[in-house]
């Protein structure tokens, strides 16, 4: 199982560490006064494991997510309290809005961000209710025309996984995939905190390449519709810098 305890242990195995985190060499670095500080704790390892999970969701693992914003009014919908990082569709009430871009709206209706009243549609019809949606900025979508009366907004898109904790296992991919990727990311991030150790610094490049190969393989398996222009995974994972 990809439990937090197993993932932590896998990280320590990669680092050739055994026992509690505070007893590990990776956790003790010299200070300017000749003593040593514990710079790596279980909290640090957990942070990097969850950072890796979020990075996988943004680059190579699709997690379909829906959020409902009840009783919304206005032209801006915030997704900051949801796990959606890439909105893909927006419904206002029972109406599925058409997706467009702020560039097209600005060319057609320069004051679209503050516009209110009757909108003339490209087909010659008119409307005073929401018709378009667009990605405004990270975790924010815009609706045009504005939502004048209280309406339920449903946003669907690619989301981030729940935080991995001692009571919440990682389940957004197969166990073997997760245990072959999350600890590798955490290991190379931890190793970068102790570059004075030549045995660790030499392995950073290997772990970075391992992480990239794993995420690239998962990206290749995504449906092609998720990798088209304007889709959440149109850009493949970034390759690590080449060794010098």
Give pLDDT tens digits for 75-92: 999 999 999 999 999 999
Tell me the whole-structure pTM to 2 decimals: 0.85
Give the pLDDT band (50/70/90) at residue 148. Answer: confident
Can you tell me the distance from the alpha carbon of 212 to that of 208, in angstroms, rounded to the nearest whole number? 6
- What would the mean pLDDT of 40-53 be, rounded to a whole number? 87
Peptide bond into 184 cis (omega under 30): no
In this predicted structure, what is the pLDDT of residue 36? 55
pLDDT per position as a tens digit, 151-204: 999 999 999 999 999 999 999 999 999 999 999 999 998 888 766 666 777 788
Give, in order, the Cα–Cα distances in Å from 108 to each of 42, 114, 116, 120, 121. 53, 14, 15, 11, 10
Q: What is the largest CA-CA distance in the chain?
A: 77
Give the pLDDT band (50/70/90) at residue 40. Answer: low
Give, in order, the Cα–Cα distances in Å from 214 to each of 6, 132, 177, 225. 19, 38, 8, 21
Answer yes or no: are the C-beta atoms of 35 and 208 closer than 8 Å: no
Give the torsion sign (CA, 76, 79, 84, 89).
negative
- What would the mean pLDDT of 5-23 be, rounded to a whole number? 77
In this predicted structure, what is the pLDDT of residue 4? 92
Can you tell me the distance from the alpha carbon of 40 to that of 191, in angstroms, rounded to the nearest whole number? 10
Nearest to residue 119, comparing CAs of 95, 144, 151?
A: 144
pLDDT per position as a tens digit, 124-135: 778 888 889 999
Name the DSSP class of 123.
Answer: T
pLDDT per position as a tens digit, 210-238: 999 999 999 999 999 999 998 999 999 99
């Amino acid at each position: 199982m990809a439990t937090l305890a197993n993932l932590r242990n896998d990280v320590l195995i990669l680092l050739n560490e055994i026992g509690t985190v505070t007893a590990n060499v990776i956790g003790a670095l010299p200070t300017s006064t000749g003593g040593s500080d514990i710079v790596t704790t279980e909290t640090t390892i957990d942070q990097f494991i969850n950072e890796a999970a979020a990075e996988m969701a943004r680059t190579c693992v699709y997690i379909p997510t829906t959020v409902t914003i009840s009783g919304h009014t206005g032209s801006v919908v915030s997704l900051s309290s949801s796990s959606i990082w890439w909105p893909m569709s927006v419904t206002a009430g029972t109406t599925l809005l058409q997706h467009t871009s702020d560039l097209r709206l600005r060319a057609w209706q320069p004051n679209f961000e503050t516009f209110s009243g009757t909108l003339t549609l490209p087909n010659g019809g008119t409307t005073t209710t929401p018709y378009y949606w667009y990605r405004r900025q990270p975790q924010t979508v815009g609706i045009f025309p504005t939502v004048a009366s209280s309406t339920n907004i449903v946003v669907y898109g690619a989301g981030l996984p729940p935080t991995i904790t001692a009571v919440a296992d990682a389940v957004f991919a197969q166990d073997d995939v997760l245990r072959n990727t999350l600890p590798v990311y955490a290991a190379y991030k931890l190793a970068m905190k102790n570059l004075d150790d030549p045995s660790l610094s030499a392995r950073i490049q290997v772990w970075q390449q391992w992480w990239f190969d794993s995420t690239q393989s998962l990206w290749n398996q995504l449906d092609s519709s998720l990798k088209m222009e304007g889709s959440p995974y149109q850009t493949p994972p970034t390759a690590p810098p080449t060794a010098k």
